[in-house]
Structure 1
Amino acid sequence: MERQTAQAAADALTLGVLITRWQDGALRDSSASYRKDAPASLRSSFAGLLDRPARSLTTMEMQAHLDDVTLRYPVMARRLHACGRSMFGWAEKRNLVPGNPFSDVVMEGRETSREHVLTDAEIAAVWNAAGSMPYPFGPFVRLLLLTLQRRNEVAGMRWAEISPDRSTWTLPGGRVKNSKGHIVHLSAPAQQILADLQPVPDPDTGMASPYVFTSNGRSPVSGFSKAKKRVGEVMAAQAAESAGKKPSALPEQDWRFHDLRRTGTTVMARLGVGHHIADKVLNHVEGAIKGVAAIYQRHDYLAERAAALDAWAAYVLKVVKEGGIEPPASNVVPLRR
């Protein structure tokens, strides 16, 4: 009887239940984005196994599935492997499962860091393409470029996080990757983008949505892959319409939203901004100031960060004016008012 009870309890711990327990337990102190995205990725990729007892999953099954994912999405496969191995390792230490089916899975290759920095022509092309796109993604992309913050952080921006004079945006620790609260200076162009927007109503309450960028009034924008694809399509269309332009002035399509952060800091270095200031702008915990100095460094360089983002915004507008490919006026869709 006791053995049957133990077996029933083990069978009740399905993969779906284990993911939830891992999210509520091991990930409790993780960043909000990882706590949300890692379990969601596992549930989506292993949807057909969610009702299986976690203890019944085998290395052979995990290897076969991740090999299939690798064929099309190698980076995603490596991240799924890392999440699965971490989750089952946590469960194994608590005697919830007899072993870790991910521990002996072999992943080909390794994840390498992207080093792409947008050219001035690409910066201008992204800015112009975003200006031709309607709310929410048109102004979203422009603000992403101007603030150099992470995609999910900008997407989840709330009106309550913006200061009354629109000069700063305060991110609470629960919304950032490193769980460290962050104050972002808003340059004049960034302030103008926000000034041109009005809160979208929440259809359930009739009240204004708390989110600056939302498609439904209930939640922040998502669907970034489609948005990036649309930006690329607009960039290509605008480049094609620019007859007589040199090939070097046409935008290259091998870029990601995250590359905007690297591009901004690269340009800041050219403009004389110190690496430690750029690290503060990006909200990197470990950067140019390390070790004991980082522990005792209490100065947040707010004035210097503001100057850096102002200089970056001025640079963006400069390359748009001097070297960018301006979209035809007839195709421009104004920002939502």
Structure 2
Amino acid sequence: MTSSITSRPLGKNGPMLPRLGLGRMNNSGAYNAVGSDEERLGFLDRAYAMGERFWDTADMYLDSEDLPGQWFARNPEKRAHVFLATKFSIDMTVPTDIIFDSSPAYARQQLARSLTRLGVAYIDLYYVHRLDGKTPIETTMAALVALKNEGKIKHIGLGACSAASLRRAHAVHPIAAVQTEYSVFARAIEAVDDPKRGILAAAPRAGRGRRREGNLDANVATVAQMGALAKQKGVTTAQLCLAWLLAQGDDVFAIPGTRKAERLQENLAALRVELTAEEQETLGTLGKQVAGGESRPEHVAIHFADTPEL
């Protein structure tokens, strides 16, 4: 994909990808206000120039597909050099509710819409963002395999799912990657005993329990200890935590989001940070001290979702 950024195969015999991708949610306005389209398109220009060619988005992230669509329209010759991942199954069209839908009909409908918004003929990696708990995973996979056979997607991935769901899905067709919450503070995935495949580590801002009164002060103190270690190494705390994550295995990829070129440059520099075994252990121990739980209780079942049997 690019020679300037450390790359690894995604899963067993998968495509070579930068170990640190670009999460597009932040730059869509999902969290905070963003700049103009021209400013955001300029950011994608900078990302591409830096060698960041692994872009991760989803159909629910506001205009997170439309903006890259504008960029590809301006730079059609660069499409083949960007590994593009997007996701379906979270329906945000009902104002009072969030609906999960991993049915075949919804998969086909949403892929068609994503291809149109992105202005591309195919998606490199298409994820089931969340399992709906109603559709057997084998049924969802059969639909995705059909779309792959039509040339509309190249690789299939899963979002948060249980090990059992992953095994059942993989029995239908190889799963290239699993995207799940994983960081020095969120470690539940480490308890999953499953054959190695690409793990895309995301860290959505769901851990509000960590910021509640009583927890915040303790967690600020923990981060301060990490900051002291980072200062000793001459790196930022963010770089230290990214380096810890990537050190957990060659099959682990990080997709931090940002809308600022300087932050992307900072993140990419984490690829050059090497940690000793002692530093990894120290960071891991500090991460386990986090107060307030790894995620809101209502999210736990979603992160490791099962589906009914056929």
TM over 0.5: no
TM (norm. structure 1) is 0.23
Larger radius of gyration: 1
TM (norm. structure 2) is 0.24
